[in-house]
Structure 1
Amino acid sequence: MKDVCIVGGGVSGLSASIYTARAGLNTLVVDGGESILARNASLENYPGFPDGVDARRFVQLVREQARNAGATFELGRVTAVEAVDETDLEAGFVLETEGGDPIEARRVIAASWSDSEYLVPLDVGRIQRGSKHFVDVDEAGRTAVDGVYAAGRVANEPHQAIVAAGHGAKVALAAIHDADVNFYHDWVVPEGYFTGRGREVPPGCEEIDDDERRRRDERARERLLEALSEPLDERPTMHPSVDLD
């Protein structure tokens, strides 16, 4: 049984997976195959990229970061989620997939805009607006069903990549808190930041010396230079309703 199953491999789902995996939770992302961000011709409002960045390259790098954190991936589509034991939600959930084996997980994060039909068996509370259904959540992304969360656009968050990333992280922190793992904060700090004040390094934090900081910085710069050295051949995905004929 997975600790967390995240339905959706877009920015919100990937962001959530980075945090849950780094907190030590066994995290599986069920990826439908394409983030809506892939429809962007250029991602130009995400902080840290002064002249923008290729949206498809950005998603690739975030997915790689999630893998580096320890998240695993399964390509497919979830068709239904049901409680293992309706009288004991701590027993977890079973996720049925289209053409694949069922998945068991203690917690589920829905991050699958614009599909949430698979949540109907759980009665999480969906809100219809036009042709779309949003999932009703509290300020931390929790639904009416304990152990089930929603992140990003499906949770009625604004349609921007930076918001999706932030909300995915926020929802992941709620799931981490509810999982009762030994976790304080996801921080990498200079040597002595805590211990120099007579404190133990809190769980989820790490102190590194200056040599290690420089090694990590060098590795990070090399990876970004490699990733951005050549343009992608992939073109943006057009909205399916557009008739190109």
Structure 2
Amino acid sequence: MRDVLIVGGGVSGLAAGIFTARAGLDTLVVDGGESILARNASLENYPGFPDGIDARLYLRMAREQAKSAGCKFELGHVTSAEPIDDTDLEAGFRVDTEGGEPLEARRLIAASWSDSEWLTPLDVGREQRGSKYMVRVDDGGRTAVDGVYAAGRIAGEPHQTIVAAGHGAKVGLAAIHDSDAAFYHDWVAPEGYFTGRDREVPPGCEEIDDEERLERDERARETMREWLAGPFDDEPTMHPSVETE
């Protein structure tokens, strides 16, 4: 029984997982394959990359960050989900995958917008928009079913990477809030920020001294140098409707 099961290993799912895993929730991401972002020739509207960044490299980096946060990953295609006990949603949900063993989790986050048919048994409130189905959610990404959330494009958010990441993080925080996890802010603060005011360091926060800060800074810069040392060879995936030789 996982605490959180995220369906979709794209931007919104990864962002949600980074937050839930860092909050100590046992988080599994079921990745059905390639994110639609892989079709992007160059990601150029994401803050922090002044001249843009290769979209596939960005995805690889975000996935590595989710792993570092504690997310587990499983490759698979989810076919359906249903409550373990129809009379008690706190008992969690059972998720079936194509060719794999059923999975169980206390909370589900739908973050794969191209296919939401697997949500049909849960009656979360899907509505058709063009050729796709979206899911109605509240401000925190909560659906009509307690314990089930939707993040990113499937929740009707604009089709932009930065929006998908932000909404995924917001949904992850909602799942944390609804769980038993003690969590305040995902902050790393300078030494004395809280304790210097005679306050306890809140859950989800930590204080670090200058030596630790400089060590983390150097480690972060070294990691970025390694990721960006040379060109990334993966090429964009063309839309399936386009004929290629």
Range class of TM-score, shorter chain: over 0.9
Letter in 1 for 2:131: S
Q: Secondary structure, in 3 states, of the residue corresponding to 1:94?
A: strand
Aligned counterparts of 1:196 and 1:77: Cα–Cα separation in 2: 50
1:27 is matched with: 27
- Are 1:81 and 2:98 counterparts? no
State the match for 1:133 in structure 2: 133
* AA matched with 2:171: V
* Distance in 2 between residues matched to 1:230 and 1:113, nearest whole Å: 32
Query: How do 1:135-150 and structure 2 match up within 5 A?
Result: 135-150=135-150
Q: Which moved more, 1:149-158 or 1:180-189?
A: 180-189
* Contiguous gaps of at least 5 residues in structure 2: none
Deviation string for 1:75-107 (max 9, x for gaps)?
011000000001000000000001111100000
Identity of aligned residues (%): 75
What residue identity is the alignment partner of 2:95? L
Number of residue equivalences: 245
Q: Distance in 1 between matches of 2:217 and 2:2?
A: 32
In structure 2, how many angstroms separate the alpha carbons of the residues matched to 1:115 and 1:231?
Answer: 32
The farther-off stretch of 232-241 and 149-158 is 232-241
Q: For the residues of structure 1 that align with 2:140 and 2:89, how far apart are their CA atoms? A: 19
Aligned position for 1:212: 212
Residue matched to 1:160: 160
CA distance in 1, matches of 2:3, 2:168: 16
In the alignment, what sits opposite 2:57? 57
Q: Structure 1: 5+ residue runs without aligned partners?
A: none
CA-CA distance at 1:131 after TM superposition: 0.9
Residues 174-204 of structure 1, C-alpha deviation per residue, up to 9 Å, x if partnerless? Answer: 0000002111111101000000000000000
**Counterparts of 1:58 and 1:102, CA distance in 2:** 31
Q: CA deviation at 1:235?
A: 0.3
Secondary structure of the structure 2 residue equivalent to 1:182:
coil
1:151 pairs with 2:151: yes
Amino acid at match of 1:82: E
Please report how far the alpha carbon of residue 33 of structure 1 lies from its aligned counterpart in structure 2 after TM superposition.
1.5
Cα RMSD after superposing both structures: 0.6
The TM-score with structure 2 as length reference comes to: 0.99
Taking the aligned partners of 1:232 and 1:148, their CA distance within structure 2 comes to: 36
How far did residue 233 of structure 1 move? 1.2
1:175 to 2:175 alignment: yes
CA distance in 2, matches of 1:9, 1:240: 20
State the TM-score, normalizing by the size of structure 1: 0.99
Per the TM alignment, residue 114 of structure 1 is displaced from its structure 2 partner at its CA by 1.1
